[in-house]
Amino acid sequence: MKITEVIQNFKSWYIQRYRGQPIFDVISFFYDTINYPAWRFDKRGIMSREKLGKYKDKYLDKRCFILGNGPSLKKTNLKLLKKEYTFGLNRVYLMFDELGFTTTFLVSINNLVLNQSNRELQDVNTTKFISWKGRKYFRNNKNIVYIRTLVREIFSHDPTQGVWEGATVTYVAMQLAFYLGFQKVYLIGVDHGFKTKGKPHSEIVTEGKDKDHFQSNYFGQGYKWHLPDLKTSEYAYRLAKKAFEKKGREILDATIGGKLKVFKKVNYKSLFSGN
């Protein structure tokens, strides 16, 4: 077993054992604090905070769409999003040629994805929010904004300080959408169900075609990825729901056939007049 797997297993056990207890908050805060100086003083961190600051409340009263990467995207008329504000996640760029446009933003935080797909991500011509811990995989790029991820289980109102991953990049996109000021956030392609089974966070290697994402080569033959932690994701989504509603904003689920039950369901086609 790799040392990274040992650490991840301990982390998962610790979170399940102590979540909600004062000791969890104390240790998480300590861990985040000792990792703060690099983010605070590295020029890439400084530049990223400056870029993020310019985005604060830039899209007040607007709506946006967060594109999960589930198979339901194949059933969704994505052409309708061409003039919308959109957050794409991880390897969403695999569909850009077919779409004829790029998403407004791209968010990627998982270290395995950043390691294996850094060259492709580097070349995507859109604003990219990339995990600070993956900075070693990228050259300087004016379109990259690094995001510091935290151990503390929070909904961040200020990504310049950090965000919690919530076991899913979708949750990071929600925190960014809130910071950017979007009034309504619509989820599509967030199927919240996987055919591949196993222990959450386990690192596996795809054998054959990928059946859990919108393309069979998304995590194709030989690609390493982490199995989802749907329970923790749901916990994070509830934090997001509460944060949005407290400010009179809303997250709505327009995923076709999705299994997520945290957010109010809406019909995707009904969101576009004349369609």
Instruction: Print burial letters for 190-199: b (CB count within 10 Å at least 16), e (below 16).
Output: bbbeeeeeee
Q: CA 214, CA 75: separation in Å to the nearest integer?
A: 10
SS3 state of residue 65? strand
SS3 state of residue 234? helix
30's tokens: 């300590």
pLDDT single digits (tens) 22-66: 555 555 555 656 666 778 888 999 999 999 999 999 999 999 999
pLDDT at 193: 92
Q: Where are the domains of the chain?
A: 35-193+231-271
- Report DSSP state, residue 160: T
pLDDT at 201: 81
148's tokens: 């510091």
Q: CA 188, CA 194: separation in Å to the nearest integer?
A: 16
Give the residues across from 27 on adjacent strands. Answer: none
Q: Which residue has the tokens 């076991």?
A: 167
Average pLDDT over the chain, rounded to an integer = 89
pLDDT at 214: 94
pLDDT single digits (tens) 190-219: 999 998 988 888 888 998 889 999 999 999
pLDDT at 5 exceeding the cut of 60: no
